Amino acid sequence: GEDVEQSLFLSVREGDSSVINCTYTDSSSTYLYWYKQEPGAGLQLLTYIFSNMDMKQDQRLTVLLNKKDKHLSLRIADTQTGDSAIYFCAESRGSSASKIIFGSGTRLSIRP
Amino acid sequence: DTAVSQTPKYLVTQMGNDKSIKCEQNLGHDTMYWYKQDSKKFLKIMFSYNNKELIINETVPNRFSPKSPDKAHLNLHINSLELGDSAVYFCASSRGGAGGGNEQFFGPGTRLTVL
């Protein structure tokens, strides 16, 4: 995405934590999202965070938002082989938040 | 039951042809979208319709024309196909607009290959 940036690849050992980072530029973004895309499939929403929150936790997933630095991260605890996928960061924009801008995606691979 | 379905799943065609991709959602959502995902997995919105009305139209060539006969369907017609149109096209839907925490549900994608 032109204004949402992520590193392209991340490799972690099974059982370790994965941290996927994202930076965005639009300070008026209202919602920030993490989507997961498995091979040959469409995107699935994993979690989202409202811009006035710093952190959101959902089972193995922890989202951290640093609004000052426009930095979003997704931490996956105890990474499993089933977590192998591309993870997209996204932000909602527009006066009615009618558009979502996606990052380029981070491909997460798991080593045994 | 599939929530967002697209047909066809694969489409291989010659340059210059005209083709259509169909999308249907059975979730009762008001808003539908078309995205293009290129070979580097970069995902970009093309169009968005809310209750059959066009609300987002990104910088997309005029050869691409979306049509929404009703709020459960959003089809994409492409005229005079070019090599650069080769990509995976995803349809999605959401209850309200894209923001507001509304989850977008994605279809399985249509892989278009232009020869």
Cβ separation B40–A88 shorter than 8 A? no
Mean pLDDT along residues A42-71 = 93
Which chain A residue is nearest to residue B40, measuring alpha carbons? A104
Q: What are the angstrom distances between the C-alpha of B24 and each of B11, B28, B33, B63, B106?
A: 17, 10, 11, 22, 11
What is chain A's mean pLDDT, rounded?
A: 90
Which chain B residue is nearest to residue A100, measuring alpha carbons? B98
User: What pLDDT, in 10s, does the model give residues A17-50?
Assistant: 999 999 998 877 788 999 999 988 889 999 999 8
Mean pLDDT along residues B82-93 = 96
Q: Provide the sign of the torsion angle of the four alpha carbons B66, B70, B74, B77, taken in this order.
A: negative
Residues in chain A within 8 Å Cβ distance of B55 = 98
User: What pLDDT, in 10s, does the model give residues B11-56?
Assistant: 999 999 999 999 999 999 989 999 999 988 888 889 888 888 888 7
Task: Give residue A92's pLDDT.
Answer: 83
Cβ separation B44–A102 shorter than 8 A? yes
Task: Give residue B59's pLDDT.
Answer: 78
